Amino acid sequence: MNNWVIGKVLKIKKYYNKLFKIFIKASINKFISGQFTKIAFIKKKKIINRAYSFVNSSNNLILEFYILFIPNGKLSYKLFNLKIGSKILISNKSFGVFILKKIPNCDTLWMISSGTGIGPYLSILRENKNLERFKNLILINSNKFIKNCNYNFEIKKLRDNYYGKLRVLNIISQENIYGTLKGRINNLIYNGILEKIIGLGLNYKKSHIMLCGNPLMIKETKNILLKLRNMDIYKNNITIERYW
């Protein structure tokens, strides 16, 4: 049990389509923005745990997670139904290399996500350390519906704080919404629309691409980047974090 500390739920905010944000107070070891932890509960003397990315920056003591409730899922169901004051186990140690330290210097850092995969980027952008070495930051979140974009208000504020260095875009696959792009990330790269709208190229020598969330989105985007731009994980111009 030494690896686990008890966290206390401070707040839960629930949104359309069973998305929720959960805020937890727990004295865990220092983590690095972009990393994930494990949240757990005990069932029949067994620890059931799952990985969740921090959304809070590493200097904020209140831990924040952005989670999708999965029907019949073991842990997201449990978390969704917690109440203020409920206790839950959190790993003392944090994990993962989806962190800025691992990203080489370049002009443009593309932070591309689907769904709850926006989390680690918000942690990194909220912290705002070690980002001065990039000229441009691009934050992209793809979702089925605009109602799933539950950090848009905060993202606009973040964009203003970066004084033009941070460009943000919502991609919506199932609706036509003014100010967003409709479609799938890989297709929008393939037909050149994403680069045109952002106003910057996915350039082999000048860009690094981070991909986080749905494994299919990661696979399709990786394939198109390799085919069209000769970019790859092994060439160290793509970094990925798969959620399942």
Ligand X SMILES: Cc1cc2nc3c(=O)[nH]c(=O)nc-3n(C[C@H](O)[C@H](O)[C@H](O)COP(=O)(O)OP(=O)(O)OC[C@H]3O[C@@H](n4cnc5c(N)ncnc54)[C@H](O)[C@@H]3O)c2cc1C
Interface residues toward ligand X, by CB under 6 A: 36, 50-53, 65-68, 70, 73-77, 96, 115-116, 119, 241, 243-244
Nearest CB to ligand X, comparing residues 92 and 203: 92
Nearest distance, CB of residue 71 and ligand X, angstroms: 9
CA pair distance 86, 90, nearest whole angstrom? 13
> Which is nearer to ligand X, 69 or 162 (by Cβ)?
69
When the beta carbons of 36 and 121 are compared against ligand X, the nearer one is: 36
DSSP string covering 110-164: EEEEEGGGGHHHHHHHHH--S-TT-SEEEEEEEESSGGG-TTHHHHHHHHHHTTT
Q: At what angle do helices 152-161 and 119-127 cross, to 10 degrees?
A: 30
State the distance between the two ends of the chain, measured CA to CA, in whole angstroms.
26
| Nearest residue to ligand X on Cβ basis | 73
**Closest to ligand X by CB, 70 or 226:** 70
Closest CA to 13 of 4, 5, 24, 3: 24
Distance in Å, CB of 47 to ligand X, minimum: 13
* In the complex, least distance from residue 134 CB atom to ligand X, rounded to whole angstroms: 23
Q: How far is the CB of 178 from ligand X (least distance, A)?
A: 26
CB of 80 to ligand X, least distance (A): 9
The one-letter amino acid code at 115 reads G
Q: Among residues 108 and 221, whose Cβ is nearest to ligand X?
A: 221
- Cα distance between residue 139 and residue 166, in whole Å: 7
